[in-house]
Amino acid sequence: MLLSCPQNRIADPKFPPPLCLFSLFSHTFVDLLEPFVLSDQLTYISPLVMSTFVEFCKMSNDLSRVERCLVHLDVKVMDFDSVLRLLRKNGMYCALLHVYTSGLDDFVTPLQMLFEEVFDRADEEVRRREERSDELTATILAKKIERV
């Protein structure tokens, strides 16, 4: 079988480049990744693999797998920008706390982020309740007007 991809300018039937193999078998690879990370046999995952792992877990509706794995990885050697971006984007706050505190020795920023999220959700709930209250009031008034 001849494998080729954009990263490989010369297609070689015997030795496809690792990136192409990864792209072809990424779901199988990331599905098998978790046990090695949880048993501490694997302590680093490249940004490409981490991104693919997060997307795979998202598709299978199990982002908790990412958080379980992340606490076993050496966060001090990770690409912080890409990992933090992935975690923020997917709302994985436990993992964010771990990365900030273990990798960056920053205890303030994750708390600020958590408080912002809590306050944003509280504001949304207040708005939703006000809208429901307004709708209920309008319905009650409409019924009273119909009776008159």
Confidence of residue 15 (pLDDT cuts 50, 70, 90): very low
Sign, CA torsion 83/88/92/94: positive
Confidence of residue 26 (pLDDT cuts 50, 70, 90): low
Nearest to 112 by CA among 81, 141, 136, 88: 88
pTM value is 0.61
Nearest to 94 by CA among 74, 61, 70, 62: 70
Confidence of residue 14 (pLDDT cuts 50, 70, 90): very low
| pLDDT tens-digit readout, 110-121 | 999 989 999 999
92 neighbors 66 (Cβ within 8 angstroms) = yes
Tally Cβ neighbours within 10 Å of residue 14: 6
| pLDDT tens-digit readout, 58-81 | 888 888 888 888 889 888 888 888
Confidence of residue 1 (pLDDT cuts 50, 70, 90): very low
Helices (H) and strands (E) in the chain, counts: 6, 0
Q: What is the pLDDT of residue 115?
A: 92
Rounded to an integer, the average pLDDT of 75-93 is 84
Q: What is the pLDDT of residue 89?
A: 86
Enumerate the domain spans of the chain.
1-106, 107-148
- What radius of gyration do the chain's Cα atoms show? 24
For residues 52 and 89, what is the distance between their CA atoms, to the nearest angstrom?
14
Rounded to an integer, the average pLDDT of 82-97 is 86
82 neighbors 47 (Cβ within 8 angstroms) = yes
